[in-house]
Each structure stands twice: as structure tokens, then as C-alpha cells.
Structure 1
Amino acid sequence: MGLKAIFKNWVDRYFSDEEAVILLVVLVLGFATVILFGHILAPFLTALVIAFLLQGVVSWLERRRVPHLLAVILVFVGFIGLLLTLAFILLPLIWDQLVGLVQETPRIFASGQLLLDNLQSRFPQLITPNQIQEWIYVAGREITQFGQRALTLSLSSLGNVLALIIYLVLVPILVFFLLKDRRKLIDFVLSMLPKKRTLMTRIWNEMDDQIANYIRGKFIEIIIVGIVSFITFTFFGLPYSALLAVVVGFSVLVPYIGAAVATIPVAAVAGFYFGFSNEFMYVLIAYGIIQALDGNVLAPILFSETNNIHPVSIIVAVLFFGGIWGFWGIFFAIPLATLLKALVYAWPRGLQHQKQLETAE
């Protein structure tokens, strides 16, 4: 069979149906819009994620005979209250601890240098003075570059304060109308699609609940891991507990990789303040238990129906989509991987199922 015949069979299998071609066009336009105009649409995309998160609460209230508008208002007021609590209580605390940690960086650096000197004196055959000097040079260069990037970011952010304020106003407004007019917006989008959309409906039904459950589950996971980490670090008297708890909480956004990266600041702060003592080992053991419980108990409970994806696929999705869209690419890496998997499995089967129905009729 020639290359032309192989290509023709492939096209006939996947694109012989009008709906399949329209679905491909919709997907291409959707991805192109996000890639090209994602920074402009950031408030809308943020509001869409939050609306997905809050829609479950609205639906829960509606099932208990609460009118739709009243349910939306109650949920929205709770959302604004949580937002104000974070803005006036949690964020100042985290900022103060971040400033304190930055001020302590020279002392931590000097302590690390002293630790390396002690290791070199204990193991002169394994660690040479040249290696220590090279490590110190690399660490100093990285710290200097980090400080320069932070300063550049701070200066460049001064001109974006007005834009940030506009985003803070726009996002809550968008969230309210996405919740209030959800059915109207969905009907409007469906009105622009062809009436024959068996394949699109099949894929949408597979993805709708999964994406919503994933967003809500990931939010719950961040909150639980962050709170447990804060309580644990505070119990052991670890400084900057709130800041480290936030880092550990958000590390669950990146499967496998996030836990390894979050270990570095936790171990660095614990090592600087406790040294190689029993308290240092207790903190690392407790942190390891938290990560083990999250990966083996909490995550399977929250995502038992949404994450039937191989770990290699998850890591590749995180690297690929994170490289394209940054934070949002990392956040949506697993839903996007699930979408691609649903497309691969539903596309040929959806077309074959539709043809079987037409033949039976």
C-alpha cells in the first residue's frame, strides 16, 4: 500500500464526517485564540476557572430548592468574603515572612558555606576546596540573578498597578455573570454549532464533569495540604511556616515535580535553623508523610474518576503546556491531557457509532 493510499485511508477514517472537520476547526481556533490572546483574555479565563469552582456549590443549593438567583448571590457573597479575607489577612502575613526570608538570605548563604567547609574537613578525599569554591560561585550567581529578576519584576510591575486593579474588579463581575447566566451562555455557544453534533456532545459529556471536578478537587487539595503543612511546621517551631505552607500547597499543582521542588526550601530553612539535629529530621519526616498521604490517599480520593492517565503522560503534559501557557498551562495540564485522550478514543468510535446508527435506520 502506497503512502498516498495510507494517507487517504487515514483522512477517510477521521475526517469523512462533516462534524469531525468542524470539531477540528473548533479545537484549532480555540487553541490558537488562547495561545495568541491568552494574556488579553486572562481575566476571563481566571473568572471561568473560578466559576467552574463555584458552580458545584450553586448546584448543591439548587438541589435543596434554593432559587437560582438567590443561590448565585449567596455563593458570590461567600466568594467575595473569602477574597477579602485572603487580601487583608493571609497575603500580608505571607508578604512579611517573604521579606524576612529575603533579609535572612545572606545569613543562610553564610551558614551553607560554613557547612560546606565542615564537610570538606571531614571528607577531604570526596570534597575538594575547588569544588566548594565552584559551588559557592554558582550559588552566589543564582542568588544575584534571582534578586535582579525580582527587582526588574517589581519595577516593571509599577506600571501595571492600574491593570491589576482593573483585573480585580473585572474578575468578580465576570464570575457573577458566568454563574447567573450560565445556561444562556451555553445555549448561545451551542447555537453557533451545527445541529448534528453527536461526536462533540460525546466528548463534551466526557470532559464537562471531569474538568469541573478536577478544578474543585485541585482547589480542595491545595487547601488541605497547605493547612496541614502550616499546622505541622508551626508545631515543630519552623520559621516562615505560612510562607512554606503556601509553597507546599501550590506544589500539588505540578504532579511529582512539585513535591520535589518544594522540598528544597523546606529543607533549607529547617537545616539553617535546626542544623543537622533531631528537629531537622523530624521536620523532613513529617513533610515526607504529608507528601505520601497526599499522593497515596488524598489525591486518589479527589481524582479517582478524573485521572486515569499514565504518569509519563502527565509529566509530558505539564512540561508541554506549562512551556506554552505558564501557570495556567501547568494548572490545566491534566485536564488537557484528559481531553486529548478523550479525543483519541472518542473520535473514531464516535464516527463509527454514528455510521452504525445511520445504517440501522
Structure 2
Amino acid sequence: MHRVLTRWYERMFSDTNAVVMLLVLSVAAASLYFFGNLMAPVIVALVLAYLLDWPVSYLVKLHIKRSIATTLVLLLFIALVLVFSFAMLPTVWAQGVNLLSEYPAMLGSFQVWLGSLPEQYPEYIDGALLDSIVGNMRGKLLAVGEQLLQASISSILNLATLAVYSVLVPLMVYFMLADRDKLLAGLDRFIPDERLLIQKVWREMNAQIANYVRGKAMEILIVGGVSYLVFVLMGLRYSALLSLLVGVSVLIPFVGAFAVTLPVAMVGLFQWGISPQFGYLILAYMVIQILDGNLLVPLLFSEAVNLHPLYIIVAVLVFGGLWGILGVFFAIPLATLIKAVLNAWPRQMESTDEPVAEATEE
């Protein structure tokens, strides 16, 4: 066993570049784990910088000074955010408050409908078993409603913090974009000279994360916009709120689409009951999800994030358990980083049997 472990260690860590890369990744992971909440504004600014780097670089190619290009792009982005905030957020907020006030009535209506199923289908549904399931489900849904209410109240109390972040984050984005080369050059002082593997992983991850951030932004806008149009045309209540939830849900692979199905179905069931209109709503929602997964995602991402669905689910569970909601949102980039590291890791001394044999002969 000792010889096996020794050979494995020599094969994996004989290259100094690999040891340096492991050290850098360990420091970064420990920083995120222990100081993730404090670094949240920096992470948000970094994501926005990746999102806006493409138009800034395009303007730079047109011989516009980088600082001027950064100012123009950032001002345009802030203007779009303000327009969206003043146009949509009041409606979304009002619909969210109304939905929370009607939440108990929706649960009661849903419970009444479930309670009628044993009478309609006595040979298929056990009434006692259904009552226990409904009781557990009602308790959990009420707990979710209370958590949402507490989160909304706490968000009101944290308006001062949000105001500070609304100033600091754009400033950090500006400096990240305008002084990108200087900042990257300044990091060289803290990285050892044995950085070949780090540079290889960085080049791969830089392109993939940039494509991922821009692709996810486009996916949120398209899925959310299409959902809003469909919900409005169908006359669904809380269309703005639900379409926003559907758009943001694409950030959480697989789990997000499943989680948003519940509020969409509950609102439709409360509004129309079991009717053809409710069936059309569910059908339209399923079509949106199918087109998103099978048409929009391949077009936007292509081979940028080439991960098996099983790896994505495991990444969501692991990183969500480690870092909460931030870990869920960044599960795919982190999984892509792990894949890039594994692909770049040197594999030396693959055949060590001959030296061992020669040593035994001597």
C-alpha cells in the first residue's frame, strides 16, 4: 500500500507547476469558504465585468480609449438597469405582496381540491394517506411562505447596505474593466514563477466563464421575456413576478425549472381551477422549458460548457451545500474549473514498473 501511495504521489505531484496550482486553488477555495459573504460584492462586480468586457473590447478595437469605452458601456448598462427598475420592479413588488397575501387562500383551495380526489377516484387514491401527505405539504409550504415574508422584511431592513453596494459595485466594475491589464499584471507578484499550468487553466477558464456569463444573461432575458408575453396573452395573474422567477430560474440548472413550476401551477390552478385554460398554461410552460433546454442553450453556449448533466447536478448539490445560494449560482463555472484543472494536470511517470523490476533484480 505504501508503494502504491508513493507512486501515486510521484505521478501527481512530481511537477512543481502542479504543486503551485494546487496551492493557489486551495487558498482561493479557503477564501471563498470563510469570507464568501464578505466577498459577495466583489464576486458580483467580477461577474458584471465579464458581462461588459465584450462591448468594451469591441469599442477598444474601434480605436476608442479603454477608459472612455468603459465609461460609455457602464453608463449605458446603468441606464438600462434604472429603466428596468423603475418600469418593472414596482409591478413585481406589488404582485409579490399580493401573492403573499393570497398564499394561504391558495393553499386552502389546493387542499380542498386534493381532498376531493379520493371521492372521485376511490379505487386509486387512499384518503388517509392523502390527508397525511397534504398535512405535511401544507406545513412545509406555510414555512416557505413565512421564510419569504421574513426575507422580504429583512431586505427592507438592509436597504442601507444595498445603497452602499449600488455605489461600490459599479466603481469596482469600472476599475476592473478600465485597468484590467494593470490589475492582472499586479497579481503576478503574488504568484510563483512556476505558473505554466495556472496560465493554461486561466486561458481556458477565462474564455469559458466569459461565454457562460454572457450566455446566461441572454438566456435570462429571452426566457423571461417570452414567459412574460405568454403569461400576459393568457391573462395569468402575477405575470411580471412569475416571468421574472422563470427567467432567474435558468441560473440553477434543472432544479430551478422544477422549483418555479410550483408557483406557476398554483397561481394557474387558483385562477382557473382544473380547466382547459389551466392545461394550456402548463403546456405553454413546458414548451418554453423544452425550447430553452434543447434549442436556446445549445445556440447560446455551444461547446463553451461541455459538462455531463450528472456532473452539473452533483456540482449544484456540493457547492450549494458549501456556499449556499452563491454556490448554486456558480456551480457550473466551478465545475468547469475543476474539469479544466483535471485536464491540465500533468500525468508523468505512467510506467514505473520497469525501474521497480530492475531494482528487484539488483
The answer to whether TM tops 0.5 is: yes
Find the counterpart in structure 2 of residue 256 from structure 1.
254
User: Which has the larger displacement, 280-289 or 109-118?
Assistant: 109-118
Query: What is the deviation of 1:207?
Result: 1.0
Residue 348 of structure 1 aligns to a residue whose secondary structure is coil
Does the aligned pair in 2 maintain the 1:199–1:351 contact within 8 Å? no
Find the counterpart in structure 2 of residue 173 from structure 1.
171
Does the aligned pair in 2 maintain the 1:198–1:350 contact within 8 Å? no
Out of 14, 17, 25, the position equivalent to 1:16 is 14
Out of 99, 104, 107, the position equivalent to 2:105 is 107
Number of residue pairs the alignment of both structures matches: 350
Matching of residues 18-37 of structure 1 within 5 Å: 18-37=16-35
Identity %: 45
* Cα RMSD after superposing both structures: 2.0
Larger RCO (CA under 8 A, 6+ residues apart): 2
- Residue 306 of structure 1 aligns to which amino acid in structure 2? A
- Residue 153 of structure 1 aligns to which amino acid in structure 2? A
Question: Could you report, residue by residue, the CA deviation over 1:289-314 in whole angstroms, capped at 9, with x for unpaired residues?
Answer: 11111101110111112221111001
Does the aligned pair in 1 maintain the 2:15–2:346 contact within 8 Å? no
- Residue 50 of structure 1 aligns to which amino acid in structure 2? L
Out of 116, 119, 128, the position equivalent to 1:118 is 116
Query: What is the deviation of 1:326?
Result: 2.0
CA–CA separation in structure 1 for the residues paired with 2:86 and 2:12: 54
Find the counterpart in structure 2 of residue 43 from structure 1.
41
Query: What is the deviation of 1:154?
Result: 4.6
Query: What is the deviation of 1:60?
Result: 1.6
Find the counterpart in structure 2 of residue 78 from structure 1.
76
User: Which has the larger displacement, 89-98 or 149-158?
Assistant: 149-158
Alpha-carbon spacing, 1:152–1:106, altered in 2? closer, same or farther (3 Å): closer
Find the counterpart in structure 2 of residue 142 from structure 1.
140
Out of 280, 297, 304, the position equivalent to 2:278 is 280
Does the aligned pair in 2 maintain the 1:47–1:172 contact within 8 Å? yes
Question: Could you report, residue by residue, the CA deviation over 1:123-172 in whole angstroms, capped at 9, with x for unpaired residues?
Answer: 12333443443244324322432343344435545553322221121111
Question: Could you report, residue by residue, the CA deviation over 1:256-295 in whole angstroms, capped at 9, with x for unpaired residues?
Answer: 2222222111111112212222211111111111111110
Out of 219, 241, 244, the position equivalent to 1:243 is 241
Does the aligned pair in 1 maintain the 2:52–2:73 contact within 8 Å? yes
Out of 260, 264, 267, the position equivalent to 2:265 is 267
Matching of residues 91-240 of structure 1 within 5 Å: 91-157=89-155, 159-240=157-238
User: Which has the larger displacement, 77-86 or 147-156?
Assistant: 147-156
Question: Could you report, residue by residue, the CA deviation over 1:47-80 in whole angstroms, capped at 9, with x for unpaired residues?
Answer: 0111111101111222223221221011110121
TM-score, normalization: structure 2?
A: 0.91
TM-score, normalization: structure 1?
A: 0.91
Query: What is the deviation of 1:95?
Result: 0.8
Does the aligned pair in 2 maintain the 1:17–1:351 contact within 8 Å? no
User: Which has the larger displacement, 12-21 or 47-56?
Assistant: 12-21
Runs (5+) with no aligned partner, structure 2? 351-362
Does the aligned pair in 1 maintain the 2:16–2:194 contact within 8 Å? no
Find the counterpart in structure 2 of residue 87 from structure 1.
85
CA–CA separation in structure 2 for the residues paired with 1:201 and 1:31: 18
Q: Does 1:337 align with 2:324?
A: no
